[in-house]
Amino acid sequence: MGELFSAKPLVVDTKAAQIRQQLADAIVNGELQPGDRLVLDEIARQLGVSKIPLREALSSLEGAGLVVTTPHAGPRVAPLPFHEVRGIYLLRESVETLGMTLALDGLDADVVERLRDINEQMRRGLRRPDVVALSDLNAEFHLAIAGASGYSSIVEVVGDLLIKVRRYRAFVPALAANWELAVAEHDQLIEAIESGDRDAAIEHMRAHVHNQGQLEAADALVREAGEGA
């Protein structure tokens, strides 16, 4: 039997977290497709792990909505209901606006410089768009702000929502114009942070997530309608 997905270096700490990262990456980039069975024996063999941390990882992925388990069928990759994109962005808008509000007290010069560097990498990436690379950088940008909030719970929620967004993008890649807008909105957000304008920074974050949600939800609904035709 062939490999279920391509193994990549694992960089997080616990064994269960390592397995979760590997499986989440495979689901997000489309290597594991919606409905694919997740056979414990095969995954354990491929990753060289025991079933105990594997089950823990699958339970965590189920909680994040990436895996579903049904009686007598076992775990499978969760379906991809495109109409849920809007709901994901509504949650992102709420949580990330709160995260931005809390982060403003912890966004020192080093964090701001990191945000600027990430956005410059995204700007360079626009020349030859790579959806996976741009999505990874975008997630890094938003997680840097969430991390400055000082609350790991906010980082976890934002991280899980970004994973779902990146999964949709594997099937409905964001248009180049969407990425150009995202980079421009990141610039505005950074400028507001640097100027010390708290209200503007909070509003830029809210508007940025809202705008991206409007664009991506529309694209996802077009894809869903096409599948139903």
Contact between 205 and 97 (Cβ < 8 Å): yes
Highest mean pLDDT among 6-10, 45-49, 68-72, 189-193: 189-193
Looking at 126-197, list the stretches that DSSP marks H as alpha helix, in order from N- to C-terminal side: 131-148, 152-171, 176-195
Segment 215-222 shows an average pLDDT of 79
This prediction's pTM: 0.81
- Flag whether pLDDT at 166 surpasses 50: yes
- Flag whether pLDDT at 2 surpasses 70: no
A 10 A CB-CB count for 44 gives 17
Least confident of 1-5, 97-101, 160-164, 177-181: 1-5
Model confidence pLDDT, tens digit, residues 91-113: 999 999 999 999 998 889 999 99
- Flag whether pLDDT at 159 surpasses 60: yes
- Flag whether pLDDT at 203 surpasses 60: yes
Packed helices 131-148 and 85-103: angle between N→C axes, nearest 10 degrees? 40
Tokens (6 digits) for 19 = 């397995």
Residue type, 161: L
C-alpha span between 174 and 134 (Å, rounded):
10
C-alpha span between 61 and 16 (Å, rounded):
11
Looking at the chain, list the stretches that DSSP marks H as alpha helix, in order from N- to C-terminal side: 15-28, 40-47, 51-63, 85-103, 109-125, 131-148, 152-171, 176-195, 198-228
Closest CA to 170 of 6, 32, 5, 28: 28
- Flag whether pLDDT at 10 surpasses 50: no
- Flag whether pLDDT at 223 surpasses 80: no
At 1 the pLDDT is: 37
pLDDT higher at 9 or 101: 101
Question: At 12, is the pLDDT very low, low, confident or very high (cuts 50, 70, 90)?
Answer: very low
